[in-house]
């Protein structure tokens, strides 16, 4: 059973939207230094990871991800200042949304049939 709470926040910015998939991809690129490795870590094809990265880069005034071709130097990818700002802002929005709905999620979880309640539900005051 999944843990109660926010599972999806998609923010439309006009020509592009960002949700958990793109945010996780940006975080993985920052961590791995590679679009390919980031995609693998998320069980996403290289083509999909590259396409999402291109979509983000095309939508913003400054690139979100900067890439260098492979070869002797090995290539790689990293988030630009714009990319870091985008990821940080999205994570703040995720947290703020989760905080804002927490009490309602808890109240609704309390309305579930007992066998469908999360294991930690009994620890709450009713």
Residue spans per domain, the chain:
13-99
User: Is residue 124 predicted with pLDDT exceeding 50?
Assistant: no
Domain 13-99 has CATH 1.10.10.10: yes
Question: How confident is the model over 79-122, as pLDDT tens digits?
Answer: 999 999 999 999 999 999 989 998 998 898 888 887 767 766 54
Question: How confident is the model over 50-85, as pLDDT tens digits?
Answer: 999 999 999 999 999 999 886 666 679 999 999 999
Give this prediction's pTM: 0.81
**C-alpha closest to that of 41 among 53, 126, 33, 83:** 33
Q: What is the mean pLDDT of residues 12-34?
A: 96
* pLDDT for the residue numbered 7: 74
Q: When comparing pLDDT for 29 and 9, which is higher? A: 29
Q: Yes or no: say if 84 and 65 are a contact pair by the CB < 8 Å rule.
A: no
Q: Tell whether the torsion through CA atoms of 55, 90, 5 and 3 is positive or negative.
A: positive
Q: Bridge partners of 106?
A: none
């Amino acid at each position: 059973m999944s843990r109660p709470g926010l599972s999806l926040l998609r923010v439309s910015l006009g020509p592009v939207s960002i949700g958990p998939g793109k945010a996780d991809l940006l975080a993985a690129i920052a961590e791995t230094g590679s679009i390919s490795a980031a995609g693998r870590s998320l069980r996403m094809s290289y083509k999909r990871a590259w396409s999402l990265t291109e979509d983000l880069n095309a939508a913003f005034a400054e690139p979100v991800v900067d890439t260098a071709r492979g070869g002797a130097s090995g290539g790689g990818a990293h988030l630009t200042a714009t990319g870091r700002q985008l990821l940080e802002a999205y994570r703040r929005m995720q947290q703020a949304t989760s905080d804002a709905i927490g009490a309602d999620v808890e109240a609704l979880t309390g309305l579930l049939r007992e066998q469908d309640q999360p294991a930690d539900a009994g620890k709450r005051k009713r």
